[in-house]
Structure 1
Amino acid sequence: MRRLLAAIALITSMSAWTALPASAAAPGGGSGDGKNFDVYVKNLVRIKGSGAKGGKPNIPVNFDPPHCWYQPQYTYAEMRQWAERIRFAWMHQGPEDQKPAHDWYEDILEQIRPHAAETGKIFWFLTDDGTPAGWDCYMSTDPFWIYVGPRPPAIPNDKIIDPTDLALIARANLTLPDPVIRINPPGGRSFVGLETWVGVQRQAPRDVIAFVPGFPGLFARIVARPTKVLIDVHGAALEEPPHVLAGGCPTYRRGMDVSNGCWVKYKRASLGSPYQLTVTQTWDVTTNVAGVNLPPGSVSSSTTVMIDEIQSNVTR
Structure 2
Amino acid sequence: MVVALLSSSPAGAFGGMGSGVRGGSNDSGELSASASHSRIKVTQTSGPTGGKQGTVSSTDVNWKPPPCWYEPVFTPEQLKDFSENDGSGDVGLRDGWYGSKLWTDHFRDEKDATTIFTRPATVKGYKNYNLGKKGYFWRGVAPNVTGLDDTSLCSRLMFWQDAGEIPDVPKAPTPEILAEYAYDKVKVPGTEVELKPAARSTVNLPTWVWLDKGTFRDVKVRAELPGTGLWAETTAKPVALHLDPGTEDAELFPASGDCAINDDGSIGTPYTKGNADKTPPCGIRYLHATGGTPYQLSASITWKITWQGSDGTDGDLPDGTFETTQDMNVQEIQSINR
Structure 1 length-normalised TM: 0.67
More helix per residue: 1 or 2? 1
1:245·1:260 contact (CA, 8 Å) conserved in 2? no
1:229·1:282 contact (CA, 8 Å) conserved in 2? yes
Who is 1:152 aligned against?
166
2:242·2:300 contact (CA, 8 Å) conserved in 1? yes
* 3-state DSSP of counterpart to 1:179: coil
CA separation of 1:89 and 1:279: change in aligned 2, threshold 3 A: closer
Who is 2:189 aligned against?
177
Shift of 1:269: 3.1
Structure 1 distance, partners of 2:208, 2:36, is 54
Structure 1 distance, partners of 2:294, 2:201, is 11
* 3-state DSSP of counterpart to 2:236: strand
User: Residue 192 of structure 1 is aligned with which of 194, 197, 203?
Assistant: 203
User: Where do 5+ consecutive residues of structure 2 fail to align?
Assistant: 12-16, 88-98, 114-122
Q: What is the number of equivalent residue pairs in this alignment?
A: 277
Shift of 1:165: 0.7
The 5 A counterparts of 1:199-214 are 199-200=210-211, 202-214=215-227
User: Among the aligned pairs, what percent are the same residue?
Assistant: 23
The 5 A counterparts of 1:160-309 are 160-187=172-199, 189-200=200-211, 202-216=215-229, 218-238=230-250, 240-243=251-254, 244-247=258-261, 249-250=267-268, 252-254=270-272, 261-289=281-309, 290-309=313-332
Q: Give the letter for the 2:111 counterpart.
A: D
Shift of 1:260: 6.3
Structure 2 distance, partners of 1:273, 1:265, is 17
User: Residue 43 of structure 1 is aligned with which of 13, 17, 38?
Assistant: 38
Shift of 1:171: 0.6
Are 2:70 and 1:62 equivalent residues in the alignment? no
Aligned alpha-carbon RMSD (Å): 4.5
2:137·2:158 contact (CA, 8 Å) conserved in 1? yes
User: Where do 5+ consecutive residues of structure 1 fail to align?
Assistant: 15-24, 30-34
Structure 1 distance, partners of 2:198, 2:328, is 10
Structure 2 distance, partners of 1:45, 1:223, is 17
Report the more deviating stretch, 101-110 or 140-149: 101-110
Structure 2 distance, partners of 1:186, 1:92, is 66
Q: Give the letter for the 1:254 counterpart.
A: T
More strand per residue: 1 or 2? 2
Are 2:125 and 1:108 equivalent residues in the alignment? yes
Structure 2 distance, partners of 1:263, 1:297, is 22
CA separation of 1:154 and 1:287: change in aligned 2, threshold 3 A: farther
1:26·1:82 contact (CA, 8 Å) conserved in 2? no
Structure 2 distance, partners of 1:154, 1:255, is 66
Structure 1 distance, partners of 2:4, 2:111, is 15
Who is 2:5 aligned against?
3
Who is 2:142 aligned against?
128
